[in-house]
């Protein structure tokens, strides 16, 4: 167990059920009060213990109720597991200020040792069980997934799981020049690249990356060349950081045939100092783009799609906006997340996950693992974004780089 940061005490951060402990400086836990939602909500949410039901966060306690052992399981709100996000590492070569602030995740930070990270064959075995439970989409994420060795091998094995399903990857794009073609050859179908600005200074400041933005742009080009088009580009918008990049990014993505998705800055984890004041609401983002390139709404591609879609009226493509702060979509949330150390999380904002690696390495057969997953999904009643308020501000939450986006 290690203590990080100078002074101010420390706070234990999501340990999950595997006993892995991480500590972060208490001074970093500045979760501001929202000017609108949080203040309004505080009138009705007095304390965490009384009117706010903390069981609405992910809870690793399996549901004691009978779960059917056949067919796709439904959670307590009737949602099915359709989408599995697989984090293959908690490491990253960037230090985005909103995800892994450099002052906290410095040289001395203890990332997971290799022995605690799921091996590819373990990931594939679990993914196959999720597939049998009805998961239609697998997304490889991290940390930065491309820092893990031999990633195309994992893609090849995931692509070979029986049945037709989508297989995609979220990456910061820094390694795509070398990896895009091998990943596509291995069976990757689509890719999402995170990029917050075309302006080199803004890019470097937000990503903490020790490389020019040109390297990510080249990676995106490599992904297009490898046939992973249309590439999606995810842009987190943080007030005071990159609002000025909103329209230039739209112009660039239109011209390049990319699907740009703006993401509201979220209060994931407890280390990024999130304040509601730093969120640029999706309505503001849309107004800025619409003012230059008129937009009209598009229907979702499939139920539960996180981004609200818009097309340019001149036919030059589409954009998406993920407004999880100002326009939550928990009712249609069909996402499960597997951390690099093999914990199952059912919400981006959960405090804890459920250990799957332990039973897996202890020799559990597929039926036992499936029963455990069913129990966790059956107990799920997460809807954090709908409940976000002063009452949720100080709850412990897993860091985004632990479970991926």
Interacting residues with ligand SAM (CB under 6 A): 92, 98-99, 141-142, 144, 170-172, 194, 234, 236, 263, 265-266, 268, 272, 400-401, 404-405
Instruction: Give me the DSSP letters along 109-156.
Output: --PPPGGGSPPHHHHHHHHHHHHHTT--EEEEESS-GGGSTTHHHHHH
Per partner kind, with CB cut-offs from 5 to 8 A, the member of ligand SAM, ligand SF4, none near residue 141 is: ligand SAM
Distances in Å between the Cα of 268 and the Cα atoms of 386, 399, 401 are 14, 6, 10
Cβ atoms of 223 and 189 closer than 8 Å: no
Is the separation of the CB atoms in 275 and 266 below 8 Å?
Answer: no
Task: Tell me: does residue 172 bind ligand SF4 (CB under 6 A).
Answer: yes
Please identify which residue in 99, 154, 295, 340 interacts with ligand SF4, judged by CB under 6 A.
99
Cβ nearer to ligand SF4, comparing 82 with 357? 82
Task: Give least dist CB 257 to ligand SF4, A.
Answer: 23
Query: 286's torsion region: left (phi>0), alpha (psi -120 to 50) or beta?
Result: alpha
At 236 the three-state DSSP class reads strand
By a kind-dependent CB cut-off of 5 to 8 A, residue 382 interacts, out of ligand SF4, ligand SAM, none, with ligand SF4
Q: Which has the closest alpha carbon to 375: 34, 6, 62, 68?
A: 62
CB closer to ligand SF4 out of 52 and 401 = 401
Task: Report the DSSP pairing between strands 295-297 and 259-264.
Answer: unpaired
Tell me how far, at minimum, the Cβ of 367 lies from ligand SAM, in Å. Answer: 32
Residue 75 binds to ligand SF4 (criterion: CB under 6 A): no
**Residues between 233 and 262 with contacts to ligand SF4, criterion CB under 6 A:** none
**By CB under 6 A, is residue 347 in contact with ligand SF4?**
yes
Q: Least separation, in Å, of the C-beta of 266 and ligand SAM? A: 4
* Nearer to ligand SAM among residue 60 and residue 279 (C-beta): 279
94 touches ligand SF4 by CB under 6 A: yes
**Residues comprising the chain, all counted:** 405
Beta-sheet strands, E only, within 39-110: 83-87
Residues of the shown chain interacting with ligand SF4 in the complex, contacts defined by CB under 6 A: 92, 94-96, 99-100, 142-144, 172, 194, 324, 329-330, 333, 335, 347-349, 382-385, 401
């Amino acid at each position: 167990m290690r203590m990080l940061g100078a002074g101010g005490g420390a706070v234990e951060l999501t340990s999950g059920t595997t006993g892995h402990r991480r500590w972060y400086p208490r001074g970093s836990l500045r979760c501001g009060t929202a000017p609108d939602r949080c203040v309004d909500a505080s009138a009705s949410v007095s304390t965490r213990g009384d009117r706010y039901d903390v069981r609405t966060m992910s809870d690793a306690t399996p549901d004691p109720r009978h779960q059917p052992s056949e067919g796709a399981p439904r959670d307590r709100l009737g949602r099915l597991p359709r989408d599995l996000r697989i984090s293959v590492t908690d490491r990253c070569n960037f230090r985005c200020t909103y995800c892994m602030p450099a002052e906290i995740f410095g040289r001395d930070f203890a990332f997971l040792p290799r022995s605690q990270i799921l091996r590819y064959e373990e990931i594939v075995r679990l993914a196959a069980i999720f597939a049998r439970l009805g998961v239609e989409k697998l997304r490889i994420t991290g940390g930065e997934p491309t820092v893990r060795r031999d990633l195309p091998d994992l893609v090849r094995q995931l692509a070979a799981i029986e049945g037709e399903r989508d297989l995609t990857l979220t990456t910061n794009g820094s390694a795509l020049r070398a990896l895009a073609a091998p990943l596509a050859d291995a069976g990757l179908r689509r890719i999402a690249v995170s990029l917050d600005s075309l302006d080199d200074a803004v890019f470097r400041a937000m990503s903490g990356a020790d490389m020019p933005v040109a390297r990510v742009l080249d990676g995106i080009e490599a992904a297009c060349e490898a046939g992973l088009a249309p590439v999606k580009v995810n842009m987190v918008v943080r007030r005071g950081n990159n609002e000025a990049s909103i329209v230039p990014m739209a112009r660039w993505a239109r011209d390049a045939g990319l699907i740009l998705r703006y993401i509201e800055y979220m209060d994931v984890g407890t280390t990024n100092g999130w304040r509601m004041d730093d969120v640029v609401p999706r309505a503001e983002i849309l107004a800025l783009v619409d003012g230059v390139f008129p937009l009209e709404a598009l229907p979702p591609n499939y139920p539960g799609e996180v981004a609200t879609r818009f097309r340019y009226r001149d036919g030059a493509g589409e954009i998406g906006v993920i407004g999880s702060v100002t326009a939550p979509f928990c009712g249609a949330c069909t996402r499960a997340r597997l951390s690099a150390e093999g914990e199952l999380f059912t919400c981006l904002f959960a405090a804890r996950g459920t250990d799957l690696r332990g039973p897996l390495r202890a020799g559990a057969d597929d039926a036992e693992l499936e029963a455990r997953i069913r129990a966790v999904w059956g107990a799920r009643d997460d809807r954090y974004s709908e409940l976000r308020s002063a009452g949720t501000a100080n709850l412990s939450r897993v860091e985004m780089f632990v479970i991926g986006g």
